[in-house]
Every structure is written in structure tokens, then in C-alpha cells.
Structure 1
Amino acid sequence: MHALDVLGDPIRRRILELLADGERTAGSLAEVINAEFGISQPAVSQHLRVLRESGFARVRAEGTKRLYEIDGTALREVDGWLARFERFRFERFRDERPGAGAADPA
């Protein structure tokens, strides 16, 4: 799955937002996602699997817990793809400057 397809899902984006604040257990992620989206723990596990397999998250075992954290691999891929469009990023602001596009009075 392409990195942008992975990010197209609001549940996966929310999981990444939670992980951006630091490492979280699978259980705590499932609890928040269930409260916000109303999906089951197995469904959250599937989203976590997609994030792992696509390079957005990594997991480690600590006793009986599975701890998830951000993996920057896919984020760098997205960043590289978006870099192609960097010159357009502030185009709207440039066009809204006072006098932008005004005819030369000379």
C-alpha cells in the first residue's frame, strides 16, 4: 500500500497523532480509537498492522504489552514526495501580497 493511501484513512491518521506524543500500548490506542470512532479492538489491531507493515509504526514487546511508536521510514517517503510541490506551498500568500499582480504605473 502506498504511504499516502495509508494516510488516507482517518483512523490511521489519528493513531499516528497519538503516537507522535510518544510510545503507547496497543491497549491504550484501542481504547482511544474505540471511544472516538466506535471500532473494536480487532479492527484497531488491523490498522496497527497496516501502519507497521507500511513503515509508519514499529512495535516492541515489553512483558505482555505491545508498545507502539512512530517509525519515520514512510514519513520520509511522504516528505520526499511532497517536496516536489514545495514551491506551490506559499503561492497563495505570494499572490495576496499588496500590489501583487497590479499593473505597473509607469
Structure 2
Amino acid sequence: MVELLAPQLDNVFHALGDATRRQMLRELVMGERTVGQLAEPHKMSLAAASKHIKALESAGLIRREVRGRTHWCQLAPGPLASAHEWLGFYERFWTDRLNALEQLLHADDAAKSKKPTTGEKR
């Protein structure tokens, strides 16, 4: 099901692949921000911030609204759910592997505790 959204996932992971864009998303969790507010902590120009915002917009992670001369951005978390679902497959894979390893280690410990140690009688 998620694979049908592969182009969208590609855009989401591309957008999330940049630390500046991830920080911008963190800022937007607290509420809408202007482009200037998103640019300010990174000490970048509005043009540079706009390029990052366009990458986030093309991934569907934010919405931009123009009010007067001010561009306001807000988080659109829907595509993050698709990315989370895609990553969930690998989370289940590693959880299953680690659970199997844990069972093997417990079985090994149990077998070792049943063996007599040197000097003990059977």
C-alpha cells in the first residue's frame, strides 16, 4: 500500500534529509511561522530559506499562505504518517530479530546453568 506512494515518499525523505529543513519542521510543530522566522535561527537569507521551504512544500510537509506581503507556513503532517508507516516495516523486522536473539540468549543461559561446573558431581 505504501509503495504506491513511492514518489511522495521520495520527496518526504529528501526533505527530511536536510538538518535545516528538519529544524524548520520542529519550529512549525509549535505553530505557524513566517519565512523570516524560519530563516532567522539559521542566519540565512530569505531566498535560501525559500528554497528549503519549497522542498518541504513539494513533499507536502508544509502549507504556505500569503497574507498581504507576508508568507506564513504551517505544518502539514499527513505525509509524515506515510513515512512512519514505511519505516514501521523495518521496525517490526528488527524487533522480531532482536526478540529471536533474546530467546536464543536465554536458552543458552539456561543450558549453561544446567551443566555441572568443574569439581561438581553429577
Please, what TM-score do these two structures have when normalized by structure 2? 0.68
In structure 2, relative to structure 1, the CA distance for the partners of 1:30 and 1:90 (3 Å cut) is farther
Identity of aligned residues (%): 28
CA separation in 2, counterparts of 1:32 and 1:80?
Answer: 31
Correspondence for 1:79? 84
In structure 2, relative to structure 1, the CA distance for the partners of 1:22 and 1:96 (3 Å cut) is farther
Higher-Rg structure is: 2
CA contact (8 A) 1:15 1:33 kept: no
CA contact (8 A) 1:58 1:70 kept: yes
Correspondence for 1:42? 47
Match status 1:15 vs 2:24: yes
Q: Which has the higher helix share?
A: 2
CA separation in 2, counterparts of 1:56 and 1:40?
Answer: 21
Please, what TM-score do these two structures have when normalized by structure 1? 0.77
In structure 2, relative to structure 1, the CA distance for the partners of 1:89 and 1:20 (3 Å cut) is farther
Correspondence for 1:56? 61
Correspondence for 1:6? 15
CA separation in 2, counterparts of 1:33 and 1:61?
Answer: 22
In structure 2, relative to structure 1, the CA distance for the partners of 1:95 and 1:71 (3 Å cut) is same
Q: Which amino acid aligns with 2:78?
A: T
Gaps of 5+ in 1: none
CA separation in 2, counterparts of 1:5 and 1:42?
Answer: 19
Segments of 4+ in structure 1 off by > 4 A?
A: 89-92, 94-97
Partner deviation per Cα, 1:50-89 (whole Å, 9 max, x = no partner): 1011111101122221110111232122112111122225
How many pairs were matched up? 100
Aligned-pair CA distance for 1:32: 1.7
Q: Which amino acid aligns with 1:53?
A: S
